[in-house]
Structure 1
Amino acid sequence: MKTKNIICLIGLFSLVNLNLFAQIKMPQASPNSEISQQVGLTTLHLEYSRPSKKDRKIFGELVPFGKVWRTGANNPTTIEFDTDIKVNGRTLKAGKYAIYSIPEKKEWTIIFSNNTELWGAMGYDPSDDALRINVPVNKLKKPVESMEIHFSDLTDSGAQFNLSWDKTTVNFKIEMEVDRVVMSQITSLLIDKETNDPGLLFQAANYYYTQGKDLSLASEWVAKSVETDPKYYTVHLQAKIQAALGNTREAIAAAQKSMEMAEEAGNPDYVALNQRLINAIKK
């Protein structure tokens, strides 16, 4: 009986020790990082771990050439997006993918895998590949201590994916279909049927103006928007469209009206915008 009690006490003591150990919070050697980036009509979400150089040679030693790498540490890097995209011109369907890579001295293979549940690259299967692309290696003058991924060169329809670590950086282009989607909405809401919604009319006119489309149609839409619900920003757009059409007198009149409305609304930014527009027209 005494022996049984001792065994129970030892077991209880072991459990207590395990619980105490499990509660210790330790810093991660390769901290997790998340990036959520809106690009045009698409949301890109990236999750990865950031290993550090720590005086080691990375590519060719710590990360061997010619072997599949998790593109980070711990779990493989993942990327998720809610619309179809193009990666260096090649289509990739909306969804979530693990990003593996095969580093080489002059070129990397970037792999988008449908299997996002693996630990590292253990169990990686090429049959799960959704897409592979090859990208050139670029050298950095100064080493990057902790692996970094970021999006740059943002536009309404694309961005650049950049990965840098040690003195190596690789990147590829991501593109989204935007114009077709926007034009489909404009067609169904404004062209196929008439609307007097000032907000829709303003949005469509502004899109046509910024994208260099049919300015005469943009002029009609913004005029209807101003007539229905005049705002200093809609009148300012009207002034810009008239200026682009070469209608100098109408453009200046609209800019002056917008400036007066902006002053009354207490918006000095639009006052300045209209003044600059008037000055540019008069040159």
Structure 2
Amino acid sequence: MRKIIFCAFMFLCGLQIQAQVKTPHPSPGATIEQTVGLTEVTIKYSRPSLRNRAIFGELVPYDKIWRTGANENTIISFSDDVIIDGQTLPRGQYSLYTKPGKNNWDVYFYTTTNNWGNPAQWDESNIAVSLQVTPLTLPFKIETFTLSLDNLSNSGAVLGILWENTYIGIPFQVPTDKKAMASIEDAFNGPSATDYFEAAVYYFEQGKDLKKAAQWVDKAIAMQERPAFWMLYQQSLIQHANGDTKKAIATAKESLKAAKAAGNPDYVRLNQHSIQKWETME
């Protein structure tokens, strides 16, 4: 009996030894994954909070290299070459370092990413791209350090740095048009209805050759036994953009009928709006 009790006691002690205390991390990690145009952008960083502390000029000194976050250095990666401040940043991953100042911040995309915080030895040759940005003063405080990817468009976005009452915006451009055009050219070696349709929509949305867009969307529709309501809707927009309002109205009515049959209220409203608007132009 004593042996059984002893074994049970030792087992419970073993469980206690293996147990780990879990508490919230003061600077929790975060990951941002965002598609910008056709380029994948990923950011991994840690997020410290104010906690009633003065940050810039105090906790984060002016005119000193900062890891731009907490714990390990912040890492940003791009799946394509991007343009930042007129400079080409090759595809890959980089440490994001900054040097906050009262009037301007220096921003660095640094090639080594295995640093804990700042590099033990700062090496200018590891700076892939650097630029200077003027900070904006916010009318409110941001409690937790935040990185963001905003103002998204097919051609680029803005990398934002926000903390305390400071905002830094770093615009960058992505090679969407180059990649899309290459994809269109490759697809046209044996295009499907989807290839024609997506090419037409891209040309329409980017304000390229609208006559080509019309030709391609017509081919896409012709290749379908029963064209989908969203394809007909885009065809109507392209027809209207080419000045053929009567045909656009007729196509929108086809799309409306198909959207009602499919039970899609969003496209029902979109087509009704187009028809009402275009009929007043007739």
Q: Please indicate the TM-score interval, normalised by the length of the shorter structure.
A: 0.7 to 0.9
Q: Which residue is equivalent to 1:227?
A: 222
Q: Which residue is equivalent to 2:21?
A: 24
One-letter amino acid of the counterpart of residue 117, structure 2: G
Over residues 28-73 of structure 1, what are the superposed CA-to-partner deviations in whole Å (9 max), with x where a residue is unaligned? 1211111111111111111111112222221112111111111111
- Report the secondary structure of 1:212's partner residue: coil
For residues 256 and 66 of structure 1, what CA distance do their matches in structure 2 show?
63
Q: Which residue is equivalent to 1:208?
A: 203
1:76, CA displacement in angstroms? 0.9
**What percent identity do the matched residue pairs reach?**
39
TM-score, normalising length from structure 2? Answer: 0.88
Unaligned runs of 5+ in 1: 1-15
TM-score, normalising length from structure 1? Answer: 0.87
Q: 2:102 aligns with which of 94, 101, 105?
A: 105
One-letter amino acid of the counterpart of residue 277, structure 1: S
One-letter amino acid of the counterpart of residue 182, structure 1: A
One-letter amino acid of the counterpart of residue 228, structure 1: M
For residues 269 and 119 of structure 2, what CA distance do their matches in structure 1 show?
60
1:268, CA displacement in angstroms? 2.2
For residues 250 and 120 of structure 1, what CA distance do their matches in structure 2 show?
62
- Report the secondary structure of 2:42's partner residue: strand
1:35 correspondence with 2:32: yes
Unaligned runs of 5+ in 2: 1-12
For residues 228 and 111 of structure 1, what CA distance do their matches in structure 2 show?
51
Over residues 100-142 of structure 1, what are the superposed CA-to-partner deviations in whole Å (9 max), with x where a residue is unaligned? 1111111111111111111111413222211111111211222
1:275 correspondence with 2:280: no
Could you say if the C-alpha distance between residues 141 and 21 of structure 1 is closer, same or farther in structure 2, counting changes exceeding 3 Å?
farther
For residues 158 and 99 of structure 1, what CA distance do their matches in structure 2 show?
18
Q: Which residue is equivalent to 1:114?
A: 111
Q: CA RMSD in A?
A: 1.9
One-letter amino acid of the counterpart of residue 99, structure 1: L
- Report the secondary structure of 2:201's partner residue: helix
Q: Is the 8 A contact 1:42 1:81 kept in 2?
A: yes
Q: Which residue is equivalent to 1:54?
A: 51
Q: Which residue is equivalent to 2:244?
A: 247
How many residue pairs match? The answer is 264
Could you say if the C-alpha distance between residues 119 and 168 of structure 1 is closer, same or farther in structure 2, counting changes exceeding 3 Å?
same
Q: Which residue is equivalent to 2:74?
A: 77
- Report the secondary structure of 2:268's partner residue: helix
One-letter amino acid of the counterpart of residue 56, structure 2: F
For residues 58 and 19 of structure 2, what CA distance do their matches in structure 1 show?
34
Q: Which residue is equivalent to 2:124?
A: 126
1:188, CA displacement in angstroms? 2.9
Could you say if the C-alpha distance between residues 122 and 254 of structure 1 is closer, same or farther in structure 2, counting changes exceeding 3 Å?
closer
